[in-house]
Structure formats: C-alpha cells, structure tokens
Amino acid sequence: MNSRRSFIQKAGATAIALSTPAISVFSSPISEIFDQDKILRVAIMGLGSYGTRVAEAMQDCKRAKLVGVISGTPSKIAMWQSKYGIPAKNCYNYENFDAIKDNPDIDAVYVITPNALHKGQTIRVAKAGKHVICEKPMAVNASDAAEMVSACDQAGVKLLIGYRMHFEANTLKAVEMREKGEFGDIKFFQGLSGFKIGDPTQWRLNPELSGGGAMMDIGIYSINGARYMVGEEPIWVTAQEVKTDPVKFKDGIDETITFQMGFPSGVVASCLSTYSMNNLDKFFLNGTQGFAEMQPSTGYGPIQGKTHKGPLNEPHVTHQTTQMDQMAAIIFDGVTPKIPVDGREGLKDMVIIDAIFEAVKTGEKVLLG
C-alpha cells in the first residue's frame, strides 16, 4: 500500500512541479499587447469524425483558420483539400509531418488521433517548433502527459488541451456564481458521464489505442468538471468497477466505473463513467445557499441548466468555434482563461485517472499529492 501511495504521490508531485501560476496582469495597455488581427493558422492531425467537427466549427472562427492537414489516408486529404481549399504544400502524412518545421504558414497542429498516439505526435510537433493543441485525454497516463508538458516547455511552444467546456458560456456562468459565493459553502458535486457505445471494432474499445474505456473517453468530463465546479483539487479517490459484457469490454477497457473524490474543504464528488447507459451527462453542484444543475452538461450543445436563481440561459455558440478563437488569444495575446486549458491542466486529470484505476484494482482509497 505504501508503494502504491508513493507512486500516486509522485505523480501528483509531478503535476504540481510542472504547474506555474498564470499571469493575467499586464504592465502595458491592452491595445499595445494584443494583436487582434493575428490569425492562428492550424493544421488538423486526424481527419475522423471529431476532426471534421472541429474543421466545420472553424469556418466561423474570427481568430483561427484551418490551413493544413495530417492524415494517413490519402483520399481524406484529397477530400479536405477540395472542401477547405488547403494547398498541397500544407498536407502531410504521419511519416513526413516533421517537415512542418520548414513551413512558415502553419502556427499550430491540433492532434485529434487515438489517445495512445498523442504523446509521440505531440513531442514531434513540439520539436518541429509548432504550438500543440491536443485532444483530451492528453495521454494514456500521467507519466506520458508529464513528458509531453516537458517537451513543449523545452521547445518553447504552447501545449493546450481541447477542453471546449472551459469556454462554454453557461458553464462559465455557473463557475462565476460559485466564485462570488452565490451557492454558499460548496458541499457536494455529482457528475454522470456516459452513453451506450456502438461499433465493437472501433479504436475506443482497443486498449492499445485508447489506454482505457469509458473513463478515458467520457469519465474525464466528470473528473474535470468536478475540479472546475468545486474550485478545488481532490486529495483522495475511491472507485468501483462493474463489467457486464467482458467480450465487448475486454481487459484494459472499463465499461462502468463509479468513483468518488474528496476535496480539502470536505466536499465530496460522486461520479459515474460508463459505456452502457444513456440519458446521463449531468452535473449537480450543491451548496449551503443554492445549487447549479446542468443536463446536458458537456454535450456539443446547447448546454441546459438552472440554479436556485433560475435558468442558465447564456447564448449558445458552437463550442469548438469559441475554443479555437480563445486558443488563438491564449497563444498570441497572452490571455489567461478563467479555467485553464494548458498541458498542466491535462496532466492533473491524468494523475486522477491513474489513481482511479489504482483504486479499482486495489479496492482501497488512494491518496493524491
């Protein structure tokens, strides 16, 4: 037990050591620092369903533009070239994309490939001198995530994680209310994340590509949501796994995990991650003076919710459009988002996921930090 706790504590210490305080106070007038006309020129790596969603959303961006692609499928590259007007010189495959170091027309690469590929691809992009936007989960474990953060630091490039909810208007409204004390002392958080997964041959159900099952894919929303809704970092986890279909959900692929997180103030989060149930996607935050409830809480939108003061009814904008415009502001303007989206934020989630898997394996409470 001591060695297990030591491992988790070392992982947590790595996350803390790699964390640096964000600075949002500027010594010069905003107009002198921000280049509002500078466009983030992005190449998307991985032209699957989510890559397509991001590409479509980027057509409405004001600060970000799709200018390149990286794919192992020539037919997809040709289709995207035609649809989005991408020049041949900005098209790469997985073997030759290191050559982007010599392409001044690409500022950043958005890595949207299976989880297990993120580490190697992120490091290669960083070595090529380009900023990295990496889809979540950023890696398959905390150790790999820490290597990604270090590689980007050493290369002097930004590493941002695709936490689209960190820019979503109703989510930010709920966080603002909590920060203002409108819910009183926070006591409890519930996060329900899951859906019935289909095609059993997809990469998400291949442990060598996904690094896990529902927890990696959808449970991470409840982990991350608990942290920004409560406004604290957890100090312990417990977890229990249920598997009803060991054929579809083979070794290394979790089907359903219920897990709990404890926070320094005494807040407890009770969460569910599953590939076997629909009608979930719910966050509930309860305090001594009020509450916030969101369902759907992390879907592509619109997000729906209410508090003890009434509905959450901020205008809906396509999440990925807002995300990419805001990431341009982070990279070019030094903007600090209300909820972090950098690699260190992603690393914190990976430390927690490692601890949850350890708690499932041992049946014991695992300490963080």
Tokens representing residue 273 in the block:
């991650």
The amino acid present at 291, given as its one-letter code, is F
Length of the chain: 369
Using an 8 Å Cβ cutoff, are 292 and 304 in contact?
Answer: no
In one-letter notation, the amino acid at residue 37 is D
Q: How far apart are CA 151 and CA 257, in angstroms?
A: 32
How far apart are alpha carbons 221 and 235 in whole angstroms?
A: 18
CB-CB contact of 59 with 34 (8 Å): no
Identified catalytic residue from 221, 228, 275, 348: 221
Is 173 one of the annotated active-site residues of the chain? Answer: no
Picking from 100, 323, 119, the residue whose alpha carbon sits closest to that of residue 209 is 119
The reply to whether 94 belongs to the active site is no
Phi, psi of 296 (to 5 degrees): -70, 145
DSSP label at 342?
Answer: B
Compute the distance between CA of residue 98 and CA of residue 312 in angstroms, rounded to an integer: 45
Select from 144, 122, 143 the least CA-distant residue to 132. 122
Q: Which of 119, 136, 158, 282 is catalytic?
A: 136
The two tokens of residue 165 are 């909810």
Q: In sequence order, what are the residues at sequence separation of 6 or more whose Cβ sits closer than 8 angstroms to the Cβ of residue 294?
A: 170, 171, 174, 282, 283, 284, 303, 304, 305, 312
Strands 291-294, 282-287: pairing is: antiparallel
- What is the chain's alpha carbon radius of gyration, rounded to the nearest angstrom? 20
In terms of Cβ atoms closer than 10 Å to its own Cβ (0-12, 13-18, 19+), residue 311 is exposed
Catalytic residues: 136, 221
